[in-house]
Structure 1
Amino acid sequence: MSPTAGSERLRAIIIGCGAIAGGYDEADPGSEQVLTHAKAYRRHPGFEIAACVEPDAARRAAFMAHWGIPAGFAALAEVNVPYDVASVCVPTRCHAETLEALLPGPARLVFAEKPLTDDVARSRAVVEAYERAGKPLAVNYLRRWAGGLVHLQGEIARGQWGAFQKASAWYTKGLLNNGSHFLDLLSFLLGGLSPVCALGIVADGRLDDPTRDVVVKTAEGAPIHLLGADMTAFSLFEADLLFSGGRISLTDSAFRIIRRPVTDSPRFAGYRALAEGATKDSGLGYAMLDAVDNIARHLNDGTPLRSTGRTALAAQELCAFLSSLPETHP
């Protein structure tokens, strides 16, 4: 992981100085994992952080001190230093206005947290505007960058696991907020998805973004059941994917992958069963570093982005359609 030969370091600004901007890594400074924008830029030899933007003066000062950032501003309009990449880490309700303000600005690429905005029509308009302007837009559906999940996608694409049959997945904290992560990840692993039906709603108090049980399907018609759970009890993000050649489980928020290929049953002659399987790290703890590396390579040599405004929009449009469906009861 190094800058392209002869290239200068890319200058990044971070807009919003909360948890995903740097707070998760600040809380555990001894960890080797890279969970935030600030730590990813600091670790990557091809980047430097030119400035941050945060209206809370105390938080801004603490963020600058922790990450060694030379300039800080209360608002994006005040930024007076050059930059190549802008990370959008503000609350979702502020995404649209921030993305719109960055469009005519100096950033060569914008790296936005998900979802793009809190309104699908406005997200569509933002994506189309960035495409017209020729300005790349990367969106942090970070599992698309995790090395182990990228490797798994290749295994599935090569037919190593046989035909996909069906899947079940569990999530918490809103269909758009967290469910979209699964819809995007499963689209990455299995190809485009389309809606089937919406089932019940979890009583977790999320009136603005309900946690819904939904069913989607692959292009070949294989069903995927996305099931919501109550976030007030615990957080959950896990899945089981069944193929003709075995079972793949994503556990611990997809930080771990369990592969169980089909084998001969050790007990019953003539039967096939799942092997004990092995658990491997998915690389998700370093996906933010992989993301900024992908961004650097995109700007330096045209390497395609793994997660774009267009792929993020597809996940949000699917969420919006599922949210609009009436509940189907057995």
Structure 2
Amino acid sequence: MVERKRCLIVGLGQIGAGYDIDAGQNGGIYTHARAITLHPAFDLVGGVDPVETQRARFEAKYNVKAYDAVAEAMHELCPDVVVIATPAEFHLQNVDEVLEAGPPAVILCEKPLALSEADGEMLVRRCEQAGVRLFVNFIRRSDPGAIEIHRRIQLGEIAAPLKASFWYSKGLYNNGSHFINLLQYWLGEVRDHMVLDHGRRWANSDPEPDVRLRFDLGTVVLQAAREESFSFYGGEILSASGRLSYRNGGRNIGWQGVRLDENFIGYRFLSPEVQSIDNDMDRYQWHVYEQLGQFLAGAPFQLCSGDEALATLRVVAAIAGRYGSEL
């Protein structure tokens, strides 16, 4: 029997423990705490947060101790996996605290990796020097639907070159990075970009530009929607072999193949039949830990590495830097 890995969560806010703290037995799995508790490969052994009310809520729900300092938690619990679920401006500081206290085998850091390229590079380098494997929690990379799209593109079933249009909201760093990272997973490296519209700043901080991105396998226009009106995440990809629809943040994925037109010789059209691609976005965080378990077992996995997250951060920082945006 494989030994369960001990997990410590640093940051007990929404993604750490809050989103699904009142979920029923069959409810969604949106946080690290719930995913760790439910996954057979892991044990939740503690949490860290400076806010007393969040520590108390976490302890009452999960019946494990919450600390106000990283060093104390590391020394007492000796975790195998440390989750950094604090705001991005604290990621480098928190990772340094973890490494100084005694490196775990794995650090799983929330996205974005950092708010500057320099901090991101430093964070990746320090984990490498400490012999710690760093992953970043770009959740869609681990979803079965996204993995199936990746497979189809790699096999040419969704044939390149591709053209796509995607939407995000709540800022380029906060949410736009999710889709840039997902598109890098599907389409390869970003070769260049052009800001089409500078847009505004979400919460007077995070820029929301419209931008065109050229990847190895195609071109994408990424546009900002207005979160205060309604959430709108997703888009579509056009291929010589058909059309992929990725809607509702990845909860609705459909594929339409191509048919020959029986009435007009030489014409082709999209099939009216839409093939649904299975996904499990209401348990997205569980699938991150499923992929982490695969890594720890020496099996193939689809997590976002620190280097891949740094590549995403470089693209985001370059786009923001085109018009002097600083967070």
TM-score (norm 2): 0.92
In structure 1, C-alpha distance between the alignment counterparts of 2:193 and 2:85, rounded to whole Å: 33
Residue matched to 2:44: 49
Are 1:78 and 2:75 matched, yes or no?
A: no
Are 1:282 and 2:279 matched, yes or no?
A: yes
RMSD: 1.9
In structure 1, C-alpha distance between the alignment counterparts of 2:185 and 2:206, rounded to whole Å: 23
Q: Deviations over 1:168-191 (max 9, x none)?
A: 111101111111111100010111
* Bigger mean CA deviation after superposition, 7-16 or 302-311: 302-311
Report 1:193-272 matches (<5 A).
193-203=190-200, 205-220=202-217, 222-265=218-261, 268=264, 270-272=266-268
Instruction: Give, in angstroms, the shift of residue 326 of structure 1.
Output: 4.3
In structure 2, C-alpha distance between the alignment counterparts of 1:112 and 1:15, rounded to whole Å: 10
- Please, which of 78, 96, 100 is the counterpart of residue 100 of structure 1? 96
Are 1:115 and 2:112 matched, yes or no?
A: yes
Instruction: Give, in angstroms, the shift of residue 316 of structure 1.
Output: 0.5
In structure 2, C-alpha distance between the alignment counterparts of 1:65 and 1:90, rounded to whole Å: 20
- SS at the partner of 2:206? coil
In structure 2, C-alpha distance between the alignment counterparts of 1:210 and 1:301, rounded to whole Å: 39
Q: Deviations over 1:30-84 (max 9, x none)?
A: 4443211111111111211111111121221111111232x21112122122211
- SS at the partner of 2:126? helix
Instruction: Give, in angstroms, the shift of residue 148 of structure 1.
Output: 1.4
In structure 1, C-alpha distance between the alignment counterparts of 2:235 and 2:82, rounded to whole Å: 33
Residue matched to 1:16: 11
In structure 2, C-alpha distance between the alignment counterparts of 1:40 and 1:15, rounded to whole Å: 15
- Please, which of 133, 146, 150 is the counterpart of residue 149 of structure 1? 146
Amino acid at match of 1:279: S
- Please, which of 188, 199, 202 is the counterpart of residue 191 of structure 1? 188
298 and 92 in structure 1: CA distance in 2 versus 1, 3 angstrom threshold = same
Instruction: Give, in angstroms, the shift of residue 302 of structure 1.
Output: 6.2
Q: Deviations over 1:272-314 (max 9, x none)?
A: 1111213344222233222212223323436556211111111
In structure 2, C-alpha distance between the alignment counterparts of 1:194 and 1:77, rounded to whole Å: 41
What are structure 1's unaligned runs of at least 5 residues? Answer: none
8 Å contact from structure 2 (residues 209, 224) kept in 1 = yes
8 Å contact from structure 2 (residues 292, 303) kept in 1 = no
In structure 2, C-alpha distance between the alignment counterparts of 1:18 and 1:49, rounded to whole Å: 16
205 and 192 in structure 1: CA distance in 2 versus 1, 3 angstrom threshold = closer
TM-score (norm 1): 0.91
Amino acid at match of 1:87: V
8 Å contact from structure 2 (residues 144, 278) kept in 1 = no
8 Å contact from structure 1 (residues 203, 230) kept in 2 = no
271 and 25 in structure 1: CA distance in 2 versus 1, 3 angstrom threshold = same
In structure 1, C-alpha distance between the alignment counterparts of 2:300 and 2:268, rounded to whole Å: 43
What are structure 2's unaligned runs of at least 5 residues? Answer: none
Q: Deviations over 1:187-213 (max 9, x none)?
A: 101111122211213335443221111
Count of aligned pairs: 320
In structure 1, C-alpha distance between the alignment counterparts of 2:89 and 2:231, rounded to whole Å: 23
Residue matched to 2:133: 136
* Bigger mean CA deviation after superposition, 92-101 or 295-304: 295-304
Amino acid at match of 1:9: R
8 Å contact from structure 2 (residues 198, 323) kept in 1 = no
Amino acid at match of 2:177: S
* Bigger mean CA deviation after superposition, 88-97 or 23-32: 23-32
Amino acid at match of 1:243: S
Residue matched to 1:160: 157
223 and 302 in structure 1: CA distance in 2 versus 1, 3 angstrom threshold = closer
